[in-house]
Structure 1
Amino acid sequence: MSIDWTHFTPGSALAGGMVIGIATAVLLLLAGRIAGISGIVGGLFRLQWRDMGWRMAFVAGLILAPYLWRQFGELPTIQVDTSYVVLALAGLIVGLGTRYGSGCTSGHGVCGLSRLSPRSIVATLIFMMTGITTVYVIRHLLS
């Protein structure tokens, strides 16, 4: 994967972070729900009809956002330098991690840290150290 650093601007990153922060705060204040993607998507499979609407709207927003963005600007070019098998395996490992960690990086990292949740602080530190270690091993020890 490569990042197009020439098109990165701190302004767009700040704006994106603010939109995520506002959206998670609104969801918490109006619905009393944490904006953790694994929990939201997992709830779609429990078939509890009373909260299905907001979950479907949230996931639809995640899927439609890049298409809407493309109407107003150019999407960055993304290049993934691995096979679909490796991507699928990585996705399964992440899914396993969200089950063992009782949530994903969005739930713990965005919502949990802002609430100063001790469990989320530990989970986020583990997510970060695992990611750093994985990149180091893949790029420096195995190459």
Structure 2
Amino acid sequence: MTLPSLAWYWPLIGGLMIGTAAGGFLVLTGRIAGVSGLLANTLGLSSGGDRSLSSLFLAGLLVTSGLALAIKPIALPSLSISATPLLVLAGLLVGFGTRLGSGCTSGHGVCGLARLSPRSMVATGVFMFIGMATVAVVRMIVGGGA
């Protein structure tokens, strides 16, 4: 299977947008732009921070993602109805993990590492290790090449 060629500038533009949004949010509000924390704040699951500001930031993520798809459409995988329970379980486990780890990849990996936070360095290392281990185990079970 041949993967489609990805122009070098799309990841660069995406990275610049993420960095600009995270840095701007920190400078303007004094808060970290961790998406799981912003979502928890929006849903009223955490105290602290302006709920409307968190909601606007998350709405901005959705709108700009939609714009990016409109500018450069990609084929999304089709899912069977039998995959739904597995996806729900995966989503719940990710949500539990972000609460357990006091943040998600955007909070720790993007914002925390930029601030040289020791907790974020450990958390990001754990994210990366678990991700690599998961790929290795899935490839052993399901099969598949590199």
Regarding TM over 0.5, the answer is: yes
- Pair 46,23 (structure 1): closer, same or farther in 2 beyond 3 Å: same
How far has the Cα of 1:12 moved from its partner?
Answer: 0.9
Q: Per-residue CA shift, 1:92-142, capped at 9, x if unaligned?
A: 111111011000010000000000100000000000100110111011145
Runs of 4+ in structure 1 over 6 Å off:
47-50
Q: How many aligned residue pairs are there?
A: 140
**Equivalent-residue separation in structure 2 for 1:5 and 1:141 (angstroms):** 22
SS at match of 2:57: helix
Q: Give the TM-score, by structure 1 length.
A: 0.87
Quick check: 1:66–1:75 contact (8 Å CA) kept in 2?
A: no
**% identical aligned pairs:** 44
**Equivalent-residue separation in structure 1 for 2:30 and 2:48 (angstroms):** 17
Partner of 1:57: 56
Gaps of 5+ in 1: none
**Equivalent-residue separation in structure 1 for 2:78 and 2:87 (angstroms):** 9
- Pair 75,24 (structure 1): closer, same or farther in 2 beyond 3 Å: same
TM alignment of 1:35-114, pairs within 5 A:
35-46=33-44, 51-71=50-70, 73-79=71-77, 83-114=83-114
Q: Give the TM-score, by structure 2 length.
A: 0.85
Partner of 2:8: 10
How far has the Cα of 1:63 moved from its partner?
Answer: 1.8
Letter in 2 for 1:56: S
RMSD: 2.3
Q: Which has the higher contact order (CA 8 A, sep 6+)?
A: 1
